[in-house]
């Protein structure tokens, strides 16, 4: 059946009005930021807004700065540590040997 609503597929407020309907847009500044991989990002800011010192690069995620010749260093990532690595940080080899000897003595029924 061909009958139905005549405005199907359109939304309220849609039309050719454009800027006149929404009002004037705020004046903008486009600032260039560069990351350590050489990627350039140009976000836009309101002309009266405070521009941040760093901006996250959308391509690699590294911090980017406004100085192309001296971008911020990428963050240093710590490698994954196992439980044993954390234990070795807290205890020396002599402490480990003593704890192992005590545990073996307890298992053998000597204590």
Task: Check the annotation: does 101 bind a ligand.
Answer: no
Q: What CA–CA distance (Å, rounded) separates 98 from 104? A: 10
Q: 22, 14 in Cβ contact below 8 A?
A: no
Query: Which of 97, 37, 32 has its CA nearest to residue 65?
Result: 32
Sign of CA dihedral 42, 46, 47, 50: negative
Tell me which residue of 46, 37, 30, 45 sits closest to 68, measured CA to CA. 37
According to the annotation, is 70 in a ligand binding site? no
Residue 60 marked ligand-binding: yes
Q: Residues comprising the binding site? A: 35, 39, 57, 60
Q: Residues comprising the binding site for Zn(2+)? A: 35, 39, 57, 60
């Amino acid at each position: 059946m061909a009958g139905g609503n005549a405005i199907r597929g359109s939304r309220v407020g849609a039309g050719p009005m454009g800027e006149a309907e929404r009002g004037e847009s705020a004046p903008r500044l486009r600032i260039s930021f560069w990351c350590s991989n050489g990627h350039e990002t140009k976000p836009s800011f309101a002309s009266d807004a405070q521009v941040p010192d760093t901006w996250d690069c959308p391509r690699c995620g590294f911090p980017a700065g406004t100085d192309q010749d001296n971008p911020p260093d990428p963050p240093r990532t710590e490698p994954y540590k196992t439980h044993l690595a954390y234990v070795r940080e807290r205890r020396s080899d002599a402490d480990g040997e003593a704890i192992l000897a005590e545990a073996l003595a307890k298992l053998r029924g000597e204590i």
